[in-house]
Amino acid sequence: MNPDGSLKPDGENNPANQDAAPGAKALPVTPPQPGDLTTAPGDVMKDSDTANFMADVIEASKQVPVIVYFWAEWCGPCKQFGPALKKVVTQAAGLVKVVKINVDENQELAGQMRIQSIPAVYAFKDGQPTDGFTGALPESQIKTFIDKQTGGAKPPLEAALDDAQAALDAGDVTAAGAIFGKIQAQDPANEKALAGMIRVALAAGEHDQAKEMIDSLPPELTAKPDIAAAIAAVELSRQGQDTGEADEYRSRLEKNENDHQARFDLAMAFYGSNQTEAAIDELLDLFSRAPKWDDEAARKQLLKIFDALGAADPLAASGRKRLSSLLFS
């Protein structure tokens, strides 16, 4: 960068013509305001030109990283790359911004930047180019590039989801509901927020409310993994509540350890009283004794419990491993 603010034309300072600028570092990012969990697409990508480059890129990059995207109407790869870039930057929710420069309309600027092919991308931070690339990268690589510019900072929406889940895991239903509700208000189709609200209702003992929420969802959302897991949790909880006391089934099993219905009901009684590990143990025991009983009820119920717990849950992981061992023994 020259003292007058113009760009140096030499290739040495042109990160867009390199895979990555030597010595480029991801720098701290000024986050959006706390209440802004989502960012509209129009807020993160704007058209600019040579006359406004100083304000839109140089000065703006002193607040958040600015991605400068060089393109043209005739550029075929740009037609796929542009929307992918917009999607990734929108998901970053204000941690970065994109400025589009049409090379045909801004040939002098493109010449200063030594743009040789498009799409070409520069990253600016604190008024300086820090990184760049040329070519239509796939969405996954665009995300990696953007994450590098933000220093790995989580977008506000993602951070809020983490806070809500942490509150729910800690039993703070009120806080979890407030955060999930705020996210849902700003992003009504957010899968994790919808699933979170269902689990909040379940944790509060509001089974009817949870059921109403599920019934109001369109089919395309109920099939989403997080929501499907929350639905499974509600169904299992209802089934557990409808089951009798554990002592009744223990007594029946003492008289006949091959009373499969009693063992199944004992497992559900355990699940209904939040003894999930004990429920899994009983169902695995039942499956080992009678894998085909009641149309493989033990295996199907185990899978439903694992789905309700989520793939990252240690109980689900160990339970699936134990079930696999029984299946292939």
Of the residues 75, 179, 233, 262, which is catalytic? Answer: 75
Based on the residue annotation, tell me whether 171 is a catalytic residue of this protein. Answer: no
Pairing of strands 66-71, 120-125: antiparallel
Hey, is 137 helix, strand or coil?
coil
97: left (phi over 0), alpha (psi -120 to 50) or beta: beta
Please pick, among 78, 164, 197, 283, the residue that the annotation labels catalytic.
Answer: 78
Contact 267, 319 (CB under 8 A): no
| DSSP letter, residue 71 | E
Q: Which two tokens stand for residue 22?
A: 């030597």
DSSP state string for 20-31: S-TT-------P
115: annotated active-site residue: no
CA distance 150 to 30: 9
Contact between 121 and 2 (Cβ < 8 Å) = no
Question: Which residues are known to be catalytic?
Answer: 75, 78
